[in-house]
């Protein structure tokens, strides 16, 4: 199968982007591979859509500018499930490097604990693959309502009943995303803004939609933070930092969520 790989770029880290390009070119894959970087200075969803419209091939791979394939067989593993015609999308596992985790200060580790190690989302454009005809059938990523967050889950809701979404265990990308406390709060504010818009648009179609609303209630919503602490992954060591970070994070979450909910779109 021939593949179009799309990398939306915006003020990227040059070293990381260079490594990404090098690793993509080293992929061991039998089909043809079209590689394009989209730098249009527009919202993230809009950039992905531009790339999809321009793409030559039926299978589309979206790769974030700070995500590097873990090995030379990543693409082969990610695309293999499409041999089944019922598969409409595949999802990469995402790993935060230990060296980046170790450089976080204690409070930032509390804020980032849920991303420690390897995670797999329902649908993630960090290293996701899609059938072009499926994406075209839903009108591509919803760039009108989701600029920089929420577009993945919005797409998941729209395509999950159109076919199978596969999660190949051997497909993994390395997410090189160093951050600090305030940068991460800003990113969480965007995520919350997108989640609020998702709840407004999709309502009960979303899994545990009510948790998102509860989390946006001052103080009471902290219960959801504490219940969702990943004890198996983190143990007690990071819990005090998580508690401290949660109080600040909820302030950003409340503002972002309700802004997205009442406006019915993600705007920050």
CA distances from 239 to 44, 77, 246 (A): 33, 36, 10
Distance (Å, whole) CA 88 – CA 92? 14
pLDDT tens-digit readout, 224-262: 999 999 998 889 999 999 999 999 999 999 999 999 999
Choosing among 3.90.550.10, 3.40.50.10470, 2.60.40.420, 3.30.70.2340, the CATH entry for 1-178 is: 3.90.550.10
Exposure of 18 in the CB half-sphere (CA atoms within 13 A): 3
Tell me how far the alpha carbon of residue 261 is from its chain's centroid: 20
Global pTM reads 0.94
The H-or-E segment that residue 75 falls in is helix 74-79
Residue-wise over 130-162: b if at least 16 C-beta within 10 A, else e?
Answer: bbbebbeeeebbbbebbbbbbbbbbbbbbbeee
| pLDDT digits (tens), the chain, 268 positions | 999 999 999 999 999 999 999 999 999 999 999 999 999 888 999 999 999 999 999 999 999 999 999 999 999 999 999 999 999 999 999 999 999 999 999 999 999 999 998 999 999 989 999 999 999 999 999 999 999 999 999 999 999 999 999 999 999 999 998 999 999 999 999 999 999 999 999 999 999 999 999 999 999 999 999 999 999 888 999 999 999 999 999 999 999 999 999 999 999 9
Domains of the chain, residue spans = 1-178, 180-268
């Amino acid at each position: 199968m021939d593949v179009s790989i799309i990398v939306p770029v915006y003020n990227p880290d040059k070293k990381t982007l260079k490594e990404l390009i090098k690793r993509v070119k080293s992929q061991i894959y039998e089909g043809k591979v079209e590689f394009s970087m989209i730098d249009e200075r527009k919202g993230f969803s809009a950039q992905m859509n531009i790339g999809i419209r321009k793409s030559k091939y039926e299978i589309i791979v979206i790769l974030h500018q700070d995500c590097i394939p873990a090995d030379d067989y990543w693409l082969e593993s990610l695309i293999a499930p499409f041999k089944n015609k019922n598969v409409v999308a595949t999802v990469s596992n995402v790993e935060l490097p230990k060296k980046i985790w170790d450089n976080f200060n204690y409070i930032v580790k509390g804020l980032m604990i849920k991303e420690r190690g390897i995670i797999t989302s329902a649908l993630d454009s960090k290293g996701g693959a899609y059938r072009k005809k499926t994406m075209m059938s839903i009108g591509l990523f919803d760039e009108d309502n989701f600029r920089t967050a929420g577009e993945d889950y919005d797409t998941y809701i729209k395509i999950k009943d159109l076919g199978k979404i596969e999660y190949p265990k051997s497909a993994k990308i390395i997410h090189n995303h160093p951050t600090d406390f305030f940068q991460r709060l800003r990113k969480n504010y965007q995520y919350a803004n997108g989640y609020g818009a998702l709840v407004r648009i999709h309502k009960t179609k979303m899994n545990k939609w009510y948790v998102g609303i509860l989390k946006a209630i001052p103080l009471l919503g902290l219960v959801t933070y504490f219940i969702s602490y990943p004890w198996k992954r983190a143990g007690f060591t990071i819990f005090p930092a998580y508690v401290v970070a949660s109080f600040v994070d909820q302030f950003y979450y409340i503002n972002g969520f309700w802004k997205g909910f009442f406006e019915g779109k993600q705007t920050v």
